[in-house]
Structure 1
Amino acid sequence: MENLPAMHFRTLCTALLCLVASGAALAAAPPKYPTRLPPPAELDYGIKARQSGLSLNGEATMRWDHGSQGYTIGVTTRAMLVGKILDEKSEGGVDAWGLAPARFTEQRYRKGATSVTFDRPAKKIRFEASDRSYPIQGGEQDHASVVWQLSSVARAAPAKFKAGSNWHFFVVGQRDGDPWTFRVVGQEKVNGPSGPTTAWHVTRNPPPDAKGRQLDIWLAPDLQWYPVKLRYTENDGDYIEQTLREVRSQPAK
């Protein structure tokens, strides 16, 4: 660097700073895992939650569908007295990496809806709520699709999905994205639609110095690896915990 002309050095530094500020700095591509998508279904959950200091109970519906035209995921969570506290939708195609989102929208309690576009012709992820962007390298997921991508990965390689194993994804939310590591904690008994069932507990904990959502998922091999329980925990202590009550099979489209 010491022999680089000063003007060129300043230009290089400015370009690097702009690249980092825009969120477009290249990150390592996530691993390419085999996938086997669970059958389409509509899943009903009972919920308990804390939102903005309020303790709430309610219900959630998760609609999971896929076919020759791609996939769609819809999540609607409602609580007694306050109504809808979370609404998410992810839609896109299926490629060699598994789920390939095209658009993700999310609306949280008392906040406006925001969207993320996976611009595949331009190979860019773009955010409505920020000016960040990320390159599409393959395998990137959003907050809704990553649950089903993880289920599809586990379903394709159940012998490798064991306690202590780690599974890596790049996941985007409303404003940005970052690498997520899911760690398989072990098998646990949880309540399912027909009584107790054995499920793999998987957790995602953000780094201590990062702001991000903690996510715990319990996947049940005896129920097509569907998520029988989920818990979303935010930095401020707000959470939503969902327990599966009913599964309705849906024909593939």
Structure 2
Amino acid sequence: MSEVSRPARRWPRLLILIASSLALHVALVDWGRRHIIVPGQTQAPTMTVELRPVPPPAQPVALPAAKPTRPSSARPANAVRRPAPRRVPEPSIDPPDEPIRETVERIPMPAPQDPPAASLPTSASGAGQAGRGEGEGSASADHGNNGSGEAPDAAPGKVYQTSAPPSALLEYDVTGTKDQQPAYGRGSIAWHNEGDHYKVEGKAKALFFTLLNFTSVGALDAWGVSPELYTEQKGFKSATNTHFNRERNVVSFSASTTSYPRRGGEQDRASLIWQLAAIGRGDAGQMQAGAVIDLFVAGVRDGEIWRVQVLGQERLTLPVGALQTWHLVRMPKPGSYDDRVDIWLAPQHEWYPVRVRYTDLRPNGDYTQLDLSGLKPAGQ
């Protein structure tokens, strides 16, 4: 049994030797093919690769450098402290808290005085009155504050002959603009002459809204037309009252705390027109081209001397026909928010106002004009 198993053990060794010999021959044949050149056979071309470094750019590229962080307390020794830019506050678009006043000056008024007795003319009727135009003071700075806070004395006023027109109802065609849009409507002024008292009521309407509504009541005395209470309402604003208190001799306003001593001859915005008509009707010679009539006029918040200039005669074509008129104008002071007022009085019709125009002189301002379209004397 032991002899038979020995030949069986030799076979694996022989197989390993044979496999190793074959592998060696294969390796030798492959090496020979690559290194031994057979005559007549060309060698395959050889590719050579050379690696060269990339040249630097012509100009170096500046990259943004990160800003080094530094504690807020750390500053270089040579650092210069620059003042922070001053922040300018943006203008406010909110409306002012205080209402805009029509005037910027306060007109001092001395204590009330009686008109000179010698200047009182005789009157043929109860409507005719002698008066004094309130010319004390003028539009110049000489009659305003003198800069020291003390009020100078007012200059003597000019004496006017006055005769108030008889009662009548005047109807007007109204034209103008409201917020820069055309406006058309109707208006009326009812003038009541009761001998020693008067009342004037006026209104101007356009479509469904009221442009202007006012009332003035007072006396017809030696000064002419002397108001006691003036009420005005514009658009949708609240009505305001201006008081001419005869007992306390004070002119005061419901729309402000401003007040003035009352001396007589003061006017409101409605009575002014009828005082001018009374001056023209009292003596037509007082109306001359270039003449100036100074009257103290109280508005809705304060008052000032109004300088009314007589521009001259003009012929107007109105709904009631062609009329010869006297054209008077009141120009507000530069920078004032008040209106320009133009008045046309017709001597052939008792010096009634046949045209009145209020013009807002601010940029893109509006205007309201009343043209006489009907005249009804009292009792008709």
TM range (shorter): 0.7 to 0.9
**1:103–1:115 contact (8 Å) kept in structure 2:** yes
Provide the secondary structure at the position in 1 that maps to 2:265: coil
SS of equivalent to 1:33? strand
Pairing 1:124-143 to 2, within 5 Å after superposition: 124-143=250-269
Residue of structure 1 in register with 2:233 after alignment: 107
What is the distance in 2 between the residues matched to 1:212 and 1:239? 12
| Contact 1:30-1:170 within 8 A present in 2 as well | no
In structure 2, the partner of 1:153 is 279
SS in 2 for 1:159: helix
Residue 239 of structure 1: aligned partner:
367
Match of 1:217 among 325, 328, 343: 343
Question: In 1, Cα distance between the equivalents of 2:209 and 2:324?
Answer: 32
Counterpart secondary structure, 2:163: coil
Higher-Rg member (1/2)? 2
Relative to structure 1, the CA distance from residue 24 to residue 121 in structure 2 (aligned partners, 3 Å threshold; closer, same or farther) is: farther
Q: Matches of 1:147 and 1:114 in 2, distance apart?
A: 19
Contact 2:339 2:358 in 1 (8 A): yes
* Cα 1:217–1:65 shift into 2, 3 Å: same
8 Å contact kept, 1:22–1:131:
no
- After superposition, what is the alpha-carbon deviation per residue over 1:26-85, rounded to whole angstroms, capped at 9, x for unaligned? 3636533221111110000001011223310001010000114500000011002x3211
Matched, 1:25 2:108: yes
Could you tell me which residue of structure 1 aligns to residue 164 of structure 2?
A: 37
Supply the RMSD in Å over aligned alpha carbons: 1.8
| CA–CA separation in structure 2 for the residues paired with 1:58 and 1:24 | 36
- Residue by residue over 1:3-32, the C-alpha shift from the partner in whole angstroms, topping out at 9 and shown as x without a partner, is xxxxxxxxxxxxxxxxxx995733636533
TM-score when scaled to structure 2? Answer: 0.58
SS at match of 2:256: coil
Q: Which runs of 5+ in 2 are unaligned?
A: 1-103, 110-136, 138-153
Amino acid at match of 1:250: A
CA contact (8 A) 2:201 2:214 kept: yes
Using the aligned pairs only, state the percent identity.
36
Q: Is the 8 A contact 1:92 1:100 kept in 2?
A: yes
Residues 1:23 and 1:192: Cα distance change in structure 2 (over 3 Å)? same
- Alpha-carbon shift at residue 191 of structure 1 (Å): 2.3
Alignment correspondent of 2:173: 46
Name which of 143, 154, 166 aligns with 2:292: 166
User: 2:276 & 2:177 partners in 1: Cα distance?
Assistant: 26
2:243 maps to 117
Amino acid at match of 1:96: A
1:35-74 correspondence to structure 2 within 5 Å: 35-68=162-195, 70-74=197-201
- Could you report, residue by residue, the CA deviation over 1:104-161 in whole angstroms, capped at 9, with x for unpaired residues? 0000012111101111111000100000001111110000000000010011120231
Matched with 1:190 is 316
Tell me, in whole angstroms, the C-alpha distance in 2 between the residues paired with 1:101 and 1:117. 8
AA aligned to 2:202 is V
Deviation at 1:168, TM superposition (A): 1.1
The CA distance in 2 between the partners of 1:42 and 1:197, in whole Å, is: 18
Q: How does 1:4-23 map to 2 (within 5 A)?
A: 23=106
Residues of 2 paired with 1:123 and 1:135: CA distance? 6
Q: Secondary structure at the match of 1:147?
A: helix
**TM-score normalized by structure 1?**
0.86
Structure 2 counterpart of 1:98: 224
Provide the rounded CA distance (Å) in 1 between the counterparts of 2:220 and 2:349.
22
Count of residues paired in the alignment: 230
Is the deviation greater in 189-198 or in 115-124? 189-198
Aligned residue in 2 for 1:78: 205
**Aligned equivalents of 2:193, 2:316: Cα separation in 1:** 27
* Structure 1 unpaired stretches of 5+: 1-20
SS at match of 2:338: coil
Report the secondary structure of 2:301's partner residue: coil
Structure with the bigger RCO (C-alpha within 8 Å, sep 6+) is: 1
Offset of 1:87 from its aligned partner?
0.3
